């Protein structure tokens, strides 16, 4: 089955000289892809520069240098937020921004936070602080923002409905007479069952007992069917004597355990040989 990876566009914009900031942003995005792309089946594609002002999947904006407010970039941020997509905006607030220029007044940051309440708006003082904040906030945005929530596929459209299938009936339990034969043999040390069918008479013996109580046709047929049921289902096996001696098989011992019977003797211990 092919592996589908969703690609998300990430635009990195700047107001002022933000050369180092752009490099940090690309590095952090690359690190996120290396950690998460394979497992999450999605990848972030960074776009750097002005380009089209249309909303992308994620907008990253850096405000630094001598520009007092985001200016024209603010319109792009507003469009991004109005479309329901996330934006991360960073103001330089150190003594010098990373380009060495003059920092922005603190009031510019606070005023912008009010105007872009749904954006992630933060500040940084140096390269280390920016890298740490951006990495943490990028991961949180990808994990929590509604735009990145993968929709559950409608499996009814992907997987065709299975045709109606008749349920497979459960295996029929052994008849009462068949269970009686096994149970009596269970109490025999060697789990033997003797069977003689001659001259219109049937003898089935186990644990020293004659199980066929009468020789009328109906009774003989009932016990003969029970014996054949065990033999055909491999609950017993031929033990020799010209087909007149049988023993409980491993399958027979397993069945006895399901009805609460505990086999005895060395034959049981050896799993029906």
- pLDDT single digits (tens) 201-237: 899 999 888 999 888 888 999 999 999 999 999 999 9
pLDDT for residue 96: 46
Reference 50, options 72, 33, 30; nearest CA is: 72
- pLDDT category at 119 given cuts 50, 70, 90 is confident
Determine the average pLDDT of the residues in 61-73: 61
Round to whole Å and give the CA distance between 155 and 133: 39
Torsion of CA 64, 69, 71, 75, to 10 degrees: 100
Of the given ranges (29-38, 50-59, 174-183), which has the lowest mean pLDDT?
50-59
- The full DSSP string for the chain is -PPP-EEEEEEEEEES--HHHHHHHHHHHHHHHHHHHHHHTEEEEEEESS---S--SEEEEEE-TT-SS-THHHHHHHHHHHTT--EEEEEE-SSB-TTS-BPPPHHHHHHHHHHTTTSEEEEESSHHHHHHHHHHHHHHHHHH-GGGPPPPP-HHHHSPPPPP-PPPPPPPPPPHHHHHHHHHHHTSTT-EEEEEEETTEEEEEETTEE-----SHHHHHHHHHHHHHHHHTTSEEE-STTTTEEEE-HHHHHHHHHTT----HHHHHTT--
Determine the average pLDDT of the residues in 47-63: 75
- pLDDT category at 102 given cuts 50, 70, 90 is very low
When the pLDDT of each residue in the chain is averaged and rounded to a whole number, the result is 79
Each residue's pLDDT tens digit, 230-246:
999 999 999 877 788 89
pLDDT for residue 132: 94
Q: How many angstroms separate the Cα of 252 from the Cα of each of 66, 232, 245?
A: 91, 12, 16
Determine the average pLDDT of the residues in 112-138: 87
pTM, rounded to two decimals: 0.50
């Amino acid at each position: 089955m092919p592996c589908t990876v969703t690609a998300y566009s990430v635009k990195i914009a700047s107001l002022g000289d933000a050369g180092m900031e752009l490099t940090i942003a690309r590095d952090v995005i690359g690190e996120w892809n290396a950690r998460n792309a394979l497992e999450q089946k999605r990848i972030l594609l960074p776009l750097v520069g002005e380009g089209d002002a249309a909303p992308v999947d994620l907008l990253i904006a850096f405000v630094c240098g001598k520009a007092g407010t985001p200016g024209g970039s603010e319109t792009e941020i507003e469009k991004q937020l109005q479309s329901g997509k996330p934006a991360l905006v960073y103001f330089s607030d150190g003594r010098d921004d990373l380009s060495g220029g003059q920092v922005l007044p603190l009031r510019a940051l606070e005023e912008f936070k009010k105007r872009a309440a749904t954006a992630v708006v933060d500040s940084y003082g140096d390269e280390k602080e920016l890298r740490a904040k951006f990495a943490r906030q990028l991961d949180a945005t990808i994990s929590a923002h509604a735009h990145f929530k993968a929709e559950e596929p409608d499996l009814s459209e992907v997987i065709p409905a299975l045709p109606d299938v008749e349920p497979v009936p459960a295996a029929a339990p052994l008849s009462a007479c068949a269970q009686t034969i096994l149970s009596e043999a269970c109490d025999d040390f060697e789990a033997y069952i003797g069977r003689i069918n001659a001259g219109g008479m049937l003898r089935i013996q186990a644990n020293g007992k004659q199980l066929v109580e009468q020789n009328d046709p109906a009774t003989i047929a009932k016990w003969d069917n029970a014996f054949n049921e065990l033999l055909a289902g491999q609950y017993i096996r031929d033990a020799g004597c010209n087909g007149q001696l049988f023993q409980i098989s491993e399958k027979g011992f397993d069945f006895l355990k399901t009805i609460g019977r505990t086999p005895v003797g060395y034959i049981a211990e050896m799993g029906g040989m």
